[in-house]
Amino acid sequence: MTKMRTTYLGNLRTEIEHTQSGNKIMTDAPLDNHGKGEYFSPTDLFASALGSCMLTIMGISAQSYGFSLDGTTIETEKVMAANPRRVAEIHIDIYFPKGNNYGEKEKRLIESAAKTCPVANSLHPDIKKIINFHY
């Protein structure tokens, strides 16, 4: 079990502490919802958690099967909806390093790992996940 502690700092900002490590993240309300947009918003963290989780599980799979994903990046875009205000879509573009030599087996392992990460499995089915792999 992992614990985090979140403190409201005022002015629509919070500080989240990962209690095991002491690492901290600040959040701010986004510009379109009364904030300054100077830090990740809570929904930014929510959407980017999907990409981070995908890379982690893809990395575990690659490590297990003896290939590398070093240098792989993910660009994440969230699409908000109203009534109620919520994340409606998460667009994920996964970019692999130039010159990668992934065969069909590696690509199947990568794509399976990405789509079955714990965050993906935890998202409400109404949230659309648009995932593009750029090899």
Going residue by residue through the chain (135 aa), what tens digit of pLDDT does each one get? 889 999 999 999 999 999 999 999 999 999 988 999 999 999 999 999 999 999 999 999 999 999 999 999 999 999 999 999 999 999 999 999 998 889 999 999 999 999 999 999 999 999 999 999 999
Homologous superfamily, domain 42-134: K homology (KH) domain (3.30.300.20)
Q: Indicate the SS3 state at residue 101.
A: coil
What is the per-residue pLDDT for 86?
A: 95
**DSSP at 74:** E
Q: Which amino acid is at 76?
A: T
The bridge status of strand 73-81 relative to strand 86-95 is antiparallel
- Residues 62, 108 contacting (CB under 8 angstroms): no
The DSSP output letter for 111 is H
| In the chain, ranges of CATH 3.30.300.20 domains | 42-134
